[in-house]
Amino acid sequence: MRDRALLLLYLGAIVAATFVHDPARLAAALAAVLLASGRRAPRVLARASRAAAPFAAAVSLGWLAASWWEQRPAGAALLRLNLRVLLMTSLTFALAARLDLQRALGFSRTLRFALVLTVSQVLTFRRLHADFRLALLSRSPRRVSTAASLRHGAAAGAWFLRRAEHDAAEIAQALDARGFFLDRR
Amino acid sequence: MHVPDGFLGPQTYLPAYGVAAAAWTFGLRRLRARLDAATLPRLAVVTATAFVLMMITVPLPGGTTVHVAGIGMLAVLFGVWNAFLSLSLVFLLQALMFGDGGVTALPVNALAMGLVGSLAAVGAHRLLRPVNRDAALFAAGWAGTVASATLMAGVLGLQPLLSRAPDGSPLFFPFGWKTTLPAVVLPHLAVGVADGVLALLAGRCLAPRPATAAPPPGPEAP
Amino acid sequence: MIDVERLDHAYDGAATLRDVSFRLGAGEKAVLLGCNGCGKSTLLKILAGLVHPLSGGYRYDGRTVDAASLRDASFRRRFRAEVGLLFQRSDAMLFNPTVRDEIAFGPRQHGLDDAEARVVRWATALGVAELLDRAPWTLSAGQKQMVCLASLLVLEPRLLLLDEPTAALDPRSTGWLVDFLQDLDQTLLVTTHNLSLAPELGPRCLVLGEDHALLHDGGADGLAGNLDLLRRANLVHGHRHRHGDREHRHDHTHDWD
C-alpha cells in the first residue's frame, strides 16, 4: 500500500514539475526534495547530476552558443531548464531508493511475476554481458580492432538471442513443474 | 537516445502516454489471446535480451564507440509486438530502477523505438528478404535505428513550437527541427550502419537454427 | 512407482534418448549417471511430465503420463504436487519477490492452509531460514539451490527428481546434501556426471551412454571397477601422468566438482 501511494505521489510530483515555470519555485521544490531525502541528499543530487549531465550539458552549451550568436539573453531559460531537469531527476532517484517496485505493482499477480522474472533475468544477463566483455579484454593484448569488436558484439548478441529462446522454454517448464498453471484452466 | 525528464512538455508526454497506453493494451490483449505456458517467461527473457543488447557497444570510424539499440534484431526475431512490450518494460526498469532516462520520456521512447522502430525494421526486412537475406537483416538493423531517431528528433524539435514563456524563451527542449533533424538523425545514420552490421552478423551466427528446447506442453491456448 | 518403457526422444531430429526402459519402486533411491549431453536432463523432464517422448510409455503410479492425461485437472494437480523436479539451472525456478514467497508458492498454489508453518520448517531444514526476506536473485548459486530444494520439499512430494544438485555446491555443502538426501523417505532419482559421488547418492545406478541408450542398471558399488562400461559412457578418460620423472597412462576420473 505504502509503495503504491509513494509511486502515485511521485508521478503527481513529476507532472506538477512540468507545469511550474518560475525558476525560484523550481529551486524551492528541488531543495524540498533534497531535504526530504535526509542523509541521502548528497548521493541523490550526485546521481541525478551524473544521469542528466550528458544530455543537459550538450543542450545547454548549444543554446548558449546560439544565444550568443543571435545576441539575446540565455540565462533565464537555461536556469529554468536545468533546474527542472535536476528537480525531476532527483525526484526519481529519491524515489528509487525507497520504492519497492514489485510491491507497488502488487495489485496484479501476473504483473508482479512478470516483473520479478524480468528483473532477475536482466541481472543474470547483465552479469553474463560483463563476462563477455571481460573475456574479450583478457584475450586482447592490444586495442581491439573495429572488425573484431563488431564480430564480438554480434556473437554476443546472437548468443543472448539464442539463450533467450532456450531460457524462455526452460522457465516455462519450471513454472509448470511448480504448479504455476494449475489455477489457469 | 536517452532523454532525461524535463525536456518534453506535458503537451507532448501526456498525449504520448495516451497513445502508448492504447498500444500497450492492444499488445497485451494480443499476447493474452495466445497466452500459453511460455508467454510470461518469454516476455521476461526477451526484455532481458533487449536490455542487454542496448549494452553492446560498437566502435565507429573515428575512434568513438556507440551503444546500439538492437531494435532490428529483436523485432525480426520476436515480432513487432513482443519487441514493443519488451522495450517498454526495459524503459520502465531503466527509468525507475536504474535512473536511466526519464518517466516523461518513457512513452515517447517506447513509441519511437519500440513501435515505430520495430515496424520499420520488420517492414524493411520483409521488403528485402525475397531479394537477399543478408541485405534484409542489415536493412532491419539500420531502419530500426534511423526511424526511431527521426521520430525522436521530430518530437524534440516540436517542443519550442508547443510551449514558450511570455518573453518568448523556450520552456522545455529549446531547439527546433532545423537543429534537431541534422543533429540527431545524421549521427544515427552511422549508428544505424553499426546496428545493421550487428544484425547481419548476429543473423549469420543464428543460422542455421540451433537445437532448442521443444515448446513446453503447458496448458493450450483457449 | 515409475514405469518407463522403451522411451525414445529427440530434439530437432537429434536423438536425446534411445530405447530407455526401467522401473523405480516406491522409496527407492537411484542415481542417473552419464556424461554431458547424454539425455539425463531430458529424461528427468519426461518423468516430471514437462516433455513427452516420441515413442514409448511412462506410467506414474500405474497411470500413463502424457499430454492427454495431464489435461485432466485432478490428475494434473495431484501429479504436480507429488513430483518435484530440481532444475539444473536453479535460476529457471525462481520468480517470486522473496525467498519466503518462493517457498510458499507451491503450498499456496495447492491450497494448503499451513503454508507459513511449512515454509519455516523447510527453510530451517535446508539452512535458508535467515534468507527468508531476501530476494532470490540476490543469493549465491549454492543458496539458490537450497531455496529451490526447499520450494520442492515444502510440498512433501513422493518423487523427487534432482538434476545435478551438487554442481553449484562446495564440498562441505555437497557432503551435507548427500546425508540429507539419504535421510529422506521420498523416491529419489538424482543425476550426476560425478562418478565418485554416485554410490553416495543411492544404492542403485542407471548409466546413460553417449548413444543415449541405457548402458547399465544395477548396483552402484561394483561400477567403479567396470572400466569398459565407464569408457563407453565417457565417464573415465586417460591421459599422461607425471610422477616426478616417471610418466605413465591409465584411465581415471576427475570429479571434484
The number of C-beta contacts closer than 8 angstroms across B and C is 17
Q: Is residue A184 one of the residues assigned to a domain?
A: no
Identify the helix (H) or strand (E) that includes residue A14.
helix A2-17
Looking at the fold, whether A68 and A145 belong to one and the same domain comes out as no
Nearest by CB to C93, which of A121, A167, A178?
A178
Give the integer Cα–Cα distance in Å for B35 and B38: 8
Name chain C contacts of A166, Cβ cutoff 8 Å.
none
- Structural domain boundaries in chain B: 10-206
Give the strand order in the sheet containing C83-86. Answer: C83-86, C159-163, C187-192, C29-34, C204-208, C214-219
Identify the helix (H) or strand (E) that includes residue C5.
strand C2-11
Looking at the fold, whether A74 and A164 belong to one and the same domain comes out as no
Write down all domains in chain C, each with its CATH number in brackets. 2-235 (3.40.50.300)
Quick check: B46 contacting A, CB < 8 Å? yes
Q: Is residue A50 one of the residues assigned to a domain?
A: yes
Q: Is residue A169 one of the residues assigned to a domain?
A: yes
**CA of C11 vs chain B CAs: smallest distance (Å):** 7
Give the integer Cα–Cα distance in Å for B175 and B195: 27
Contact B52 A122 (CB under 8 A): yes
Interval B62-73: pLDDT, tens: 666 677 788 988
| Cβ-Cβ contacts under 8 Å for A127 (sequence gap 6 or more) | none
Looking at the fold, whether A112 and A95 belong to one and the same domain comes out as no
Chain B residue with Cα closest to A87 = B6
CA distances for A142 relative to A137, C28, C183, angstroms: 9, 58, 56
CATH 1.10.1760.20 given to domain B10-206: yes
Give the integer Cα–Cα distance in Å for C47 and B110: 43
pLDDT at B216 over 50: no
Cell 512538455 -> residue = B9
pLDDT, position B214: 42
Interval B32-61: pLDDT, tens: 776 666 778 888 888 888 888 887 777 666
Q: Is residue A159 one of the residues assigned to a domain?
A: yes
Q: Which residue has the higher pLDDT, B214 or C24?
A: C24
Of A76, A103, A130, at which residue does a domain stop? A103
Name chain A contacts of B204, Cβ cutoff 8 Å.
154, 158
Q: Is residue A26 one of the residues assigned to a domain?
A: yes
Specify the range with the lowest mean pLDDT, choosing from A32-36, B128-132, C238-242: C238-242
pLDDT at A144 over 80: no
pLDDT, position A51: 84
For all residues of chain C together, what is the average pLDDT?
87
Interval C66-124: pLDDT, tens: 989 988 888 888 998 899 999 888 877 887 878 998 899 888 888 888 999 999 999 99
For residue B6, the SS3 value is: coil
Looking at the fold, whether A50 and A80 belong to one and the same domain comes out as yes
Q: Give the residue numbers spanning the domain of A10.
A: 2-103
Interval B133-167: pLDDT, tens: 999 999 999 999 999 999 999 999 999 999 888 88
Name chain A contacts of C74, Cβ cutoff 8 Å.
none
DSSP A39: G
Of A103, A128, A148, at which residue does a domain stop? A103
Q: What are the grid coordinates assigned to C134, written together?
A: 531476501
Partner A, chain C 45-64, Cβ-Cβ below 8 Å = 45, 48, 50-51
Looking at the fold, whether A169 and A147 belong to one and the same domain comes out as yes
Q: How confident is the model at residue A185 (pLDDT cuts 50, 70, 90)?
A: very low
Most confident of A60-69, B138-147, B190-199, B213-222: B138-147
Structural domain count of chain A: 2
pLDDT at C241 over 80: no
Of A58, A86, A103, at which residue does a domain stop? A103
Looking at the fold, whether A81 and A32 belong to one and the same domain comes out as yes
Q: Which residue has the higher pLDDT, B101 or B200?
A: B200
Q: How confident is the model at residue A168 (pLDDT cuts 50, 70, 90)?
A: confident
Nearest by CB to B52, which of A11, A125, A172?
A125
Looking at the fold, whether A41 and A92 belong to one and the same domain comes out as yes
Q: How many residues are present in chain B? A: 222
Interval A84-117: pLDDT, tens: 999 999 999 888 878 877 777 777 777 788 888 8
Contact B47 A89 (CB under 8 A): no
Interval B71-86: pLDDT, tens: 988 898 888 998 999 9
Specify the range with the lowest mean pLDDT, choosing from A77-81, B106-110, C101-105, C240-244: C240-244
Name chain C contacts of B217, Cβ cutoff 8 Å.
49-52, 67, 70
Peptide bond into B208 cis (omega under 30): yes
Q: Contact, A164 vs B44, CB < 8 A?
A: no
For residue B209, the SS3 value is: coil
Looking at the fold, whether A144 and A127 belong to one and the same domain comes out as yes
Chain B: touching chains (3 or more CB pairs < 8 Å): A, C
Backbone angles phi, psi at C191, to 5 degrees: -95, 150
Averaged pLDDT, C165-192: 90
pLDDT, position C216: 87
Give the integer Cα–Cα distance in Å for B170 and A63: 10
Q: Is residue A185 one of the residues assigned to a domain?
A: no
Interface residues from chain C to B (CB-CB < 8 Å): 11-12, 14, 49-52, 67, 70
Looking at the fold, whether A113 and A74 belong to one and the same domain comes out as no
Label residues B71-104 b or e (16+ Cβ within 10 Å = b): bbbbbbbbebbbbbbbbbbbbbbbbbeebbbbbb
Q: Is residue A89 one of the residues assigned to a domain?
A: yes
Q: How confident is the model at residue B222 (pLDDT cuts 50, 70, 90)?
A: very low
Q: Is residue A149 one of the residues assigned to a domain?
A: yes
CA distances for A171 relative to B51, B213, B218, angstroms: 18, 11, 12
Nearest by CB to A118, which of B48, B103, B197?
B48
